[in-house]
Structure 1
Amino acid sequence: METFYHNGVEKSVTIKEAQLFQRSMSLFLGSRLAKITIILAFVTLFLDGVNISSRYKSNRLFGITTFTQRWDKTFQVAEGGTLVLNSEMGNIRIESWPEKKIEIQADAQGSGGAIESYAIDFSQPTSHRVVVDAKHKTFFSYRPHLDLVYHIKVPENFNLELVNGEGKVTVNGLKGSVHVHSSNGDIELINFEGIGKLETEKGTVLGQNVKGTLSASSIDGEIEFEVFQGSLTAKTDAGKLTLMSVDGNIHATTREGNIQAELEGENTGAYFFSEEGVVELQLPSDIKANIEASSEHGTASFLPAGKLKAKKQNSFRKLSGAVNGGGKTIIAKSKEGNVVVAM
């Protein structure tokens, strides 16, 4: 027997009756807690669509209310400085201008809750360094959708250190050092001169009118350069490599994709390898080079056939020789695909 009090009156019940009472109370409280949880979830979703701050402008389209917010910052800087930008998301466009200052404009659009949950912090530790840190305020897995776009202007001679979680990064008209890492987005480098390192996990790397020393890598995307001069290292796992009008020391490798390259200028040596794809090289007619082309399970060929002066007996899988008297070595290899070198 167990004893308890109800409305000031002593009651006696068996242990079995007490256990049944405790179980029923647990079920009752559990159902009440579940109802409260559901209500709170609906309240959260409702608040996600309301204007929770007068700082935001609201727009209503097709019955859906969205809000916008703009961040504006300007920093006086010296040429040769560095902009550090760490952002969890957003499309980022950076271009040069003649002013000795950095102008940053960020525009966000989404629900009130989405904008409220995102923060952008700006700081300038020194006259040569500006830091922008943008991220969600919460670590919860549920995050309302938010569209974020950066428009940034920097001096022409300036350095960049950019890390972006999701979104496209475009850099135009700079001279300096550029390091860009993106988890899920394209990287575009235009009219650039200097040292660069471009890395994306799930995106394409595009370069146009680039001069300097550069490395570009993508795990699951293509790499494409048009008009390049200098030293280029390009590597992708599952994408195609397209290198047009490239002049300099080139090292290009891919595991699953094809390689198409058009070389120009003075030969300083080059290496091209695809594990599973086709390798196609177009050389200038006056190039002086030693050629080594091979394929383990495909064919290797040189066009026109009489232009290559063989140093030893060639086969349909492997050939080597000199053109225009020889020079630096150009290597083109594939494990599974065909290799074609043409002039």
Structure 2
Amino acid sequence: MNRIRTATAVVVASFSVAAWAAIESPIHKTFNVAPGGTLTLEADVGDVRVSSGGTGVTIDVKRRARSEEAMRDFVVTFDQQGNDVAVRAKYDRPSRWFNWSNDVDATFVITVPSQYNLNLSTSGGDIKIGDLLGQVRARTSGGDFDLGNIKGPVDARTSGGDMSITSVRGRLDLNTSGGDIKIGEADGPASAKTSGGSIEVHRVGGDLFAHTSGGSISIDEASGAIDASTSGGSIRARFAQQPRGDSRLATSGGGITVTIAGNVAVDVDAHTSGGDVQTDLPITILGKQSEGDLAGKINGGGPRLVLRSSGGSIKLRRM
């Protein structure tokens, strides 16, 4: 019986792959543009892969459909205005919106000049962007983000995936409703929000806002002020140099560990209702202390460092 079921499963899987492969209709387009323009993509479905380094804009659309009718109804149009290129990939039968995505799939492989701006939107797919000099605005309703070295501001949002960026020069705004966020380096202000994952930041040169409703937060090196909060995990942060503003770290579901360089001066205000406060740093105590509280000055004091935990201990460590 198991052999019969296995054989049946293989046949079904093979038929499914064959059905997708039965109808393919690729599109190849090239556009002569100068650096500094903008590529706009609006797609009802499909993964998006963008690389830079070309002399113009090259677009390859790999369309796959289960039927000729579905392929005809998935309409891709192109428009060029000066150095700007716009692509629209829309399903032309709204009455079948509820099941059209099961009939059509696409992949957009795009090459742009090294200096170019991106405005990308897909309702069902991953977005991957390589190294780029320019502004990036990207949206997906159901996929992951993978961004390389971006020399320009980044605003990216997904309703259901992980987000990762190697580095960014400029303002960074990442938002996901269901995944992890990883930031390599950000030299400007950065915002990272997720409703269902962890946040990892290697280095941030500006102020950082990080919030998650379901994971931990890890910050390896911070130079600006930090506003970090989580409802379901621990927080770990390192201050390798003097912060330029007040910081607040708060968690309802874990502990907090802060590592501070020996020359950093801050005013500490720590409170936990789920553990104790520990420190191996010299601190000038202010006021009466209890097991779950610590208030005082490190190296004479400076910007405020507010630490709050409802589910664990708070630890201050020397770097």
* TM-score, structure 1 normalization: 0.71
C-alpha separation in 1, matches of 2:154 and 2:216 = 23
Using the TM superposition, give the Cα deviation of residue 158 of structure 1 relative to its aligned residue in structure 2, in angstroms: 1.4
Give the Cα separation in 1 of the matches to 2:274 and 2:150: 44
Partner of 1:280: 257
State how far apart, in whole Å, the 1-side matches of 2:36 and 2:61 are.
23
Over residues 237-287 of structure 1, what are the superposed CA-to-partner deviations in whole Å (9 max), with x where a residue is unaligned?
A: 112212222322221111222212222223223221112222222222221
The aligned residue for residue 238 of structure 1 is 214
Deviations 1:297-325 (A, max 9, x none): 332222x1x51221222222111112222
Question: Secondary structure at 1:248's aligned position in 2?
Answer: coil
Q: Which moved more, 1:198-207 or 1:82-91?
A: 82-91
Given that 2:241 and 2:263 are in contact with CA atoms closer than 8 Å, whether structure 1 keeps it comes out as no
3-state SS in 2 of match to 1:166: coil
Q: Is the 8 A contact 1:88 1:165 kept in 2?
A: no
- C-alpha change, 1:297 and 1:195, in structure 2 (3 Å) is same
Which residue identity is paired with 1:219? S
Runs of 5+ consecutive residues of structure 1 not aligned to the other structure: 1-60
2:41 aligned residue (85, 91, 101): 85
* Aligned-partner Cα distance in 1 for 2:242–2:52: 31
Partner of 2:183: 207
8 Å Cα contact 1:84-1:131 kept in structure 2: yes
- Matched residue count: 280
Name the SS for the 2:187 alignment partner.
Answer: strand
Q: When you count strand as a share of all residues, which structure comes out higher? A: 1
Show the 5 A alignment for 1:133-282: 133-139=88-94, 140=96, 141-142=98-99, 143-144=101-102, 148-154=106-112, 155=115, 156-269=132-245, 270-282=247-259
Percent identity of paired positions between Structure 1 and Structure 2: 24
What SS does the corresponding residue of 1:312 show, helix, strand or coil?
A: coil
- Pick the aligned partner of 1:319 from 294, 297, 301: 294
Letter in 2 for 1:288: A
Q: State the AA in 2 paired with 1:164.
A: T
User: In 2, are the aligned partners of 1:92 and 1:150 still within 8 Å (CA)?
Assistant: yes
Distance in 2 of aligned mates of 1:248 and 1:152: 36
Instruction: Structure 2: state its 5+ residue gaps.
Output: 1-12, 116-131
Q: Answer yes or no: is the 8 Å Cα contact 1:83–1:160 preserved in 2.
A: no
Task: Tell me the distance in 2 between the aligned counterparts of 1:337 and 1:69.
Answer: 57
**2:107 paired with 1:131:** no
| Amino acid across the alignment from 1:123 | D
In the alignment, is the contact (CA less than 8 A) between 1:120 and 1:132 conserved in 2? Answer: yes
Structure 2 distance, partners of 1:120, 1:283, is 54
Would the aligned equivalents of 2:222 and 2:243 in 1 still touch at CA under 8 Å? no
**Take 1:228 and 1:69, find their aligned partners in 2: how far apart are those partners?**
44
Query: Which amino acid in 1 is paired with 2:177?
Result: E
In 2: Cα distance, 1:225 partner to 1:337 partner: 22
The CA RMSD measured in Å over matched residues stands at 2.8
CA distance in 2, matches of 1:325, 1:282: 17
For 2:315, the equivalent position in structure 1 comes to 340
Q: Distance in 2 between matches of 1:249 and 1:126?
A: 42
User: Measured at CA, do residues 248 and 102 of structure 1 come closer, stay the same or move farther in structure 2, by a change above 3 Å?
Assistant: farther
5 Å matches for 1:11-26?
none
Contact 1:84 1:160 in 2 (8 A): no
Structure 1 residue ranges (4+ consecutive) displaced by more than 6 angstroms after TM superposition: none
- Code of the residue aligned with 1:329 in structure 2: it is R
CA distance in 2, matches of 1:78, 1:282: 48
The Cα of 1:147 is off from its aligned counterpart by 5.5
**Aligned counterparts of 1:152 and 1:249: Cα–Cα separation in 2:** 37
Q: Give the letter for the 1:276 counterpart.
A: G
Structure whose CA Rg is larger: 1
